Amino acid sequence: MSTKRFSGVLAPVITPFHADLNPDYDRLLAHCRWLLNKGVGLAVFGTNSEANSLSLSEKKQLLDKLVEGGIDPMTVMPGTGSCALSECVDLTKHAVNLGCAGALMLPPFYYKGVSDDGLYAFYSEVIQRVANTDLKIYLYHIPPISQVPISLDLIDRLVNAYPENIAGIKDSSGDWENTLALNEAAWPDFRVFCGSESFLLQNMTHGGAGCISATANVNPAAIRNLYDNWNTEQAEQLQAQLDQVRALFQRFPMIPALKAATAHFANDKDWLRVRPPIIEMGSSQLQQLVKEMNSASFSMPGL
Amino acid sequence: MSTKRFSGVLAPVITPFHADLNPDYDRLLAHCRWLLNKGVGLAVFGTNSEANSLSLSEKKQLLDKLVEGGIDPMTVMPGTGSCALSECVDLTKHAVNLGCAGALMLPPFYYKGVSDDGLYAFYSEVIQRVANTDLKIYLYHIPPISQVPISLDLIDRLVNAYPENIAGIKDSSGDWENTLALNEAAWPDFRVFCGSESFLLQNMTHGGAGCISATANVNPAAIRNLYDNWNTEQAEQLQAQLDQVRALFQRFPMIPALKAATAHFANDKDWLRVRPPIIEMGSSQLQQLVKEMNSASFSMPGL
């Protein structure tokens, strides 16, 4: 990993599956290339990547194959968090050794109500075991799903103990006040990504680093355009346009809808597959999604 | 696995760690032998085993070593659930091939608010991929921690689709009405284990199969004694005695307290270690625990 920290827009890249539910490397590589071409980075193995539905060995193999396939690892910020310390260390080392730009790291999420001391010990052990200043950790705060929040106090302790390694955060709390507090904390060069482009303009205005958002899988160029032009007169209009697309997708279950949009515009039904416990949308929901995308003149050009 | 289904008392066996936090096989084997000697079975890789803090490969190795160490696999019901279908299938196959009595299976627990259809698809895929009538699944319902409940409707669908494989449930909801409903559902030979010995007498009275309880790690003989004598005049008194010990341990964080009691009676401080995000108790808490165990004349004979 470089010592440089990340800024910009990243997509938690959706993971295509073969009929036997094994990960489909070729389709993943193609989607990654399309996303890079639209100006967004690759937060593979995020929540919307169904990453926790993948095994450690599947994730390591996919990462190897992306790099072998010519993806610049400096565009990749894989999710490497795990409930198990040993697995988190293994995958994070793998990402560092491949030269990935950073690691997006969930807290261990099985036990609930764990203390900040316990979470500090977890991250601390990971950092000490990876033992590489090239490791850039972006903490992943997503309490609606993980149910294990990452508090400002915890971040403060981690930043002070490991200033080289704790590089930033993805805030998927959906709580703007929390994102604001993260920006105002003024830890040196700490990168704050909002977890939805709905907050992108606000986040940039307050010194944030960008966003890592599910809908960057389907609407990458427009989100990147706001990132590039947040400080211009068009910014509010661009934000309003992003909000409309986001709202469209939020009327459906997000992961199946992202895959369905990709399947539709790539004319490739293999993209519809998900791993349980996520399930595909039914045919009437699929038709409704296509209808709404058409009404909104939404498309995924070049797919 | 045998076609016979499990009944009795099992302990979610606590997992000892070396100073480097690797699992300590020798201490685990010794504790398993002590538990078997006290009449309880081995639900290794449960919540109180810190199982989700272990990697897949660590769990497979520990299971191999227990069987190599002479533990009868028919006394072992390992937790094999995982968020990842591929990992759950891998570990479950491993357990079946070793001849384990059953597999205690959490639902995938990362995504919240998933549908019964999604959970049905997950369990269904696991059963079809393991493809062995010797597989006996005990569903693991622990909504306070997993945050993903297993509904009566879901169980009904699974029992009807896979009557050979769905053998029972551990109900750690803490909700007696749910345990009662499971007993009253009258699925053929469906084994209902309560997740705490606090409900053991009630569960046995209503046709239950036993209990799988954290405190069986420290109080196995007494819990087994109630299981053997639930239909006698002493039963209520035995239940009251169990409740007192349970209450004692519940005044402390459970996993560190189970390990601290074991460390105390084995005179072996190595037992204190936990993996983050769980943390050890401080010295004043440790002293308090020992004081309360002494006041209650509680001991772990033969350890």
Please indicate, yes or no, whether the overall pTM of this predicted structure exceeds 0.95.
Answer: yes
Chain A CB contacts of B56 below 8 Å: 55-56, 87
Span A94-115, average pLDDT: 97
Which chain B residues are Cβ-neighbours of A275 within 8 angstroms? Answer: 85
Rounded to the nearest 5 percent, the helix, strand and coil shares of chain B are 50, 10, 40
**In what side-by-side order are the strands of the sheet with A137-141?**
A41-42, A8-11, A210-212, A191-194, A166-171, A137-141, A103-105
Report pLDDT for B297. Answer: 97
Domain that includes residue A171, residue range: 8-232
- What's the confidence (pLDDT) of residue B3? 56
Collect all residues of chain B within an 8 Å Cβ-Cβ radius of residue A129.
none
Contact B46, B13 (CB under 8 A): yes
B138-157 core/surface letters (b: 16 or more CB in 10 A; e: else): bbbbbbebbbbbbeeebbeb
> Average pLDDT, stretch A196-205?
98
B266 domain residue, yes or no: no
- Within-domain flag for B279: no
Q: Tell me how far apart the alpha carbons of residues A211 and B12 are, in angstroms, rounded to a whole number.
A: 42
CA separation, residue B257 to residues A136, B33, B272, B275 (Å): 36, 20, 9, 14
- Report CB contact under 8 Å: B276, A121: yes
Phi, psi of B251 (to 5 degrees): -80, 0
Beta carbons within 10 angstroms of residue B257's beta carbon: 23
Q: Determine contact, residues A143/A104, Cβ cutoff 8 Å.
A: no
Interface test with B, best of A52, A83, A114 (most B CBs within 10 A): A83
A175: how many CB neighbours lie within 10 A of its CB?
14
Kindly determine whether residue B115 and residue A87, on different chains, have CB atoms separated by under 8 Å. no
Q: Which residues of B fall within a CB distance of 8 Å from A108?
A: 52-53, 276-277
Q: A274: which 2 tokens? A: 């998900």
Residue B196 lies in a domain: yes
Cα–Cα separations (whole angstroms), residue A92 to A100, A140, A159, B117: 10, 14, 18, 33
Split at pLDDT 50, 70, 90, the class of A82 is: very high
- Section A196-222 average pLDDT: 98
List, in sequence order, every beta strand (DSSP E) within B114-196: 137-141, 166-171, 191-194
Residue B134 covered by a domain: yes
Model pLDDT, residue B4: 82
Q: Which has the closest alpha carbon to A251: A212, A220, A281?
A: A281
Say if residues B20 and B56 touch (Cβ distance below 8 Å).
no
The pLDDT assigned to B1 comes to 40
Do A70 and A37 contact (CB within 8 A), yes or no?
Answer: no
pLDDT-based confidence at residue A3 (cuts at 50, 70, 90): low
Q: End-to-end alpha-carbon separation of chain B, Å?
A: 30
Interface of B with A (CB under 8 A): 21, 47, 52-56, 58, 83-87, 90, 107-112, 114-115, 117-119, 121-122, 124-125, 144-148, 275-279
Question: Is there a domain that residue A266 lies in?
Answer: no
Nearest Cα residue in chain A from B253: A114
Q: How far does the CA of residue B74 sit from the closest CA of chain A (Å)?
A: 27
Residues of A with CB under 8 A from a CB of B: 21, 47, 52-56, 58, 83-87, 90, 107-112, 114-115, 117-119, 121-122, 124-125, 144-148, 275-279
What are the tens digits of pLDDT across the range B233-248? 999 999 999 999 999 9
Answer whether A52 sits within 8 Å of B110, measured CB to CB.
yes
Closest-CA distance, A62 to chain B, in angstroms, reads 14
Residue numbers in chain B where pLDDT is lower than 50: 1-2
Total structural domains within chain A: 1
Three-state SS string over B243-283 comes to HHHHHHHHCCCHHHHHHHHHHHHHCCHHHHCCCCCCCCCCH
pLDDT band at A1 (very low <50, low <70, confident <90, very high): very low
A112 belongs to a structural domain: yes
Does the beta-carbon distance from A111 to B278 stay under 8 Å? yes
Q: Residue A87: list chain B partners with CB under 8 A.
A: 55-56
Cross-chain residue pair B122–A83, CB shorter than 8 Å: no
Quote the mean pLDDT of chain A: 97
Segment B114-170, tens digit of pLDDT: 999 999 999 999 999 999 999 999 999 999 999 999 999 999 999 999 999 999 999
Residue A20: give its domain's CATH number: 3.20.20.70
Nearest Cβ partner for A56 among B56, B119, B277: B56
The closest alpha carbon to A36, from A169, A200, A221, belongs to A221
Residue A259 lies in a domain: no
Q: Which residue intervals of A206-253 are DSSP H helices?
A: 220-229, 235-250
CA-based Rg of chain A, rounded to a whole angstrom? 18
ipTM above 0.90, yes or no: yes
What pLDDT is stored for residue B134 in this prediction? 95
User: Å from A121 to nearest chain B CA?
Assistant: 6
Length of chain B: 303
| B172 domain-assigned | yes
